[in-house]
Amino acid sequence: MRVFIFLAALLCGLPSLAASRCDVNVATQRVDLDQVSLAYQSIGRASDPALLLVMGLGGQLIHWPDEVVVALCEQGFRVIRYDNRDVGLSAWRQAPGSANLTFEALRYKLGLPVAAPYSLTDMAADGLGLMDALHVQSFHVLGVSMGGMIAQHMAAMAPGRVESLTLIMTTSGAQGLPAPSETLVQLLSRRSAPNREVALEQQADLLAALGSPMVVDDRQVLLHQAAVAYDRAFNPEGVKRQIMAIMAEPSRVTLLNQLQVPTLVVHGTADPLLPVMHGVHLAAHIRGSQLKLIPGLAHRFQEAFKEPLLGAVLPYLQQHREDTSHWAQIEPVQAPNLL
């Protein structure tokens, strides 16, 4: 009788156990590295294969939709999301040097070298340092936008550790690819605000501009999203430094041509910041990669596109979750690629 009661209790408790395993409301923790202090969340069992989420420009870990994180966790992953240096609750401890975004943006437009306080390679080292601190030897990486650029460097810097790459809304950084509109660039660079109200309106404008023309955004929803992010952390100077890190980055084509890691590239056909050819070009330079184009997807997670995004990403990740036979490798550079 006791055995029957125990089994009944166990079976009745399974749904709640599954829910708690993928609880996105776990405490935010902190890891101190040499140059940075990173805020992160770990969702799922420590024994599950790890999936590291790398967010884009100015984004915080909360910008990964909770339902997406839960869906990834329920696939059997330990999902780790974190704030990049200079945003959210993470901090870059080195005293910033003089950094003039307007001046560096002008140099960028003229094709001159850009001086940045740190590089995307430094930001990739942050993510690898986080996984070192968590004693995770091998893991999968999913990066979006700037996070996808950082993820490319992670796979190159840590051969044998990155088991798969999922690159969403990102680019190879090659010259000659379509540029964003000047209006969108101006919205991205508009980072100073005299007060909270103006900051929220500016962020809502940017979110609307990054959205799909197939979706009509509710302005109040955009303002609420902006308010949640602002009230958690607001560091416009840090975002400016991240923009400079992107502008200072050379083309990654040579790196990508040598990378050997299972890779999925997901891009939207309506991306206003990195038009669709960025995704096509990226996939063309990663050996054996898969390319999934989502009609109407722009440069933002929007409710209307969560299902097609998950439909593209989940089967791929599930396929590679237990497969450790194709760890990332990078071959020696033979000659510069002039593309």
Whether 329 shows a pLDDT value over 80: the answer reads no
Q: At 260, is the secondary structure helix, strand, or coil? A: strand
Place of tokens 């003229």: 110
pLDDT band, very low/low/confident/very high, at 323 (cuts 50, 70, 90)? low
Longest dimension (CA), the chain: 80
pLDDT band, very low/low/confident/very high, at 95 (cuts 50, 70, 90)? low
Distance CA 278, CA 271 (A): 10
pLDDT the model gives residue 98: 61
Q: Which residues have C-beta within 8 Å of that of residue 111, sequence separation ≥ 6?
A: none
Over pLDDT 70: what percentage of the chain?
88
- Per residue in 3-18, pLDDT tens? 333 333 333 444 444 5
Distance CA 252, CA 259 (A): 11
**Encoded tokens for 145:** 């936008």
DSSP classification of residue 214 = T
More confident residue, 331 or 118: 118
